[in-house]
Amino acid sequence: MRVLVVEDDPDLRRSLAATLREENYAVDIAADGGDGLDKAKQNAYDIILLDVMLPELSGWEILQQLRPANTTPVLMLTARDAVHDRVKGLNQGADDYLTKPFDIEELLARIRALIRRAAGQTLPVLTIRDLSIDTASRKVLLKGEDIPVTAREYALVEYLALHQGEVVSRTTLYEHLFDEDDSTLSNLLDVHVSNLRKKLGPEVITTRRGHGYCIE
């Protein structure tokens, strides 16, 4: 999952990025509104964390320019907690609203929920036949048995499971699993897929030649 964090406070930006990376998100950061808008337009993110008070362009302005063309879930982070501020945010196309200061766990839970909902899933545990993926505890279970997977492997299987039945191209996968600073070669994806097949069984992830991967 790839996240864009638009936050002007350097300490908070660093801290949020570190937290999300430890949760295996691919994280891009932007320190001002202009940079944030550019990145949000250029890259395919699974979620955008948007501060309201930003230099150059405010969070509201970014939101206005993104919607309705861009449907990426947006979680507003702001220090303003008046009801009308929250209502304004949600009315202008934000998907959720979190008031500073917040608990990291709540932020993570909301991010997970927003990503899940954007993919059309309602439950935190994704079940596909024998396979179940617990997005809250980030665990992969096969027939009730905990299968140890690496962070990248988990991210890969989670993305495919969220988009169950869709053929996901290698480019899309690459975009959503690696952040802008990541120089990992795209053929690493094949390595991750083959490792997952070894752990979960060969038939879980199918390859569509020339199109991409799919969990049916």
Partner 1 sequence: MTSPFQSIRWRLQVWHGLLLLLVVAGFCAPGYQIALENQLQRIDKDVSQMERRLFRSLMESAKGSLYPGTPETRDGDRPMISLGQLLEYLREKPAALSADVAALFQGHDPGYAYFSIRNSHDEVLLTSPNAPEDLTFLPPAKSEHLEDTRTIDRRREIRRSSPSGFRIVVGRDISQDLDAAKRFAWIQAATCLGLWVLGLGGGWWLSGRAIRPIQTISKTATRIAEGNLKDRIDITDTDSELGQLSKVLNNTFDRLHDAFERQRQFTADASHELRTPITILLSETQRVLKRDRTPEEYRETLQTCNHTGQRMRHLVEALLMLARQETTQGLNGHAETCDLAGVLEDTRVHLAPLAADRGITLHTDLHSAPCQGDPGALSVLAANLVNNAIQHHQGASGTVRLSSGMRSTGEPYFAIQDDGPGIPTEHLPHIFERFYRADKARTSAAGHTGLGLAIAKAIVDNHGGEISVQSTPGQGSTFEVTLKNDRSV
Work out how close the CB of 99 gets to partner 1 at its nearest, in angstroms, rounded to a whole number: 8
Burial class (CB in 10 A: 0-12, 13-18, 19+), 54: buried
Tell me, residue by residue from 132 to 171, as one string, x for binding to partner 1 by CB under 8 A and - for no binding: ----------------------------------------
Asked if residues 177 and 122 have their Cβ atoms less than 8 Å apart, the reply is no
Residue number with CB closer to partner 1 (21 or 197): 21
What stretches of 143-190 adopt beta strand conformation (E)?
145-147
Region from 17-25, 60-68, 158-166, 196-204 binding partner 1, contact rule CB under 8 A: 17-25
4, 29, 37, 54: which one binds partner 1 (CB under 8 A): 54
Residue 184 binds partner 1, judged by CB under 8 A:
no
Identify whether the C-beta of residue 19 lies closer than 8 Å to the C-beta of residue 3. no
What residues form DSSP beta bridges with 74? 48
Q: Tell the smallest beta-carbon distance from residue 23 to partner 1 (Å).
A: 9
User: In sequence order, which residues have a C-beta less than 8 Å from that of residue 34 and are 6 or more positions away?
Assistant: 56, 57
**Residue 109 touches partner 1, criterion: CB under 8 A:** no
Q: Beta-carbon neighbour count of residue 203 at 10 Å?
A: 9
Contact positions vs partner 1 (CB under 8 A): 8-12, 14-16, 18-19, 22, 32, 53-56, 58, 79-80, 82, 99-105
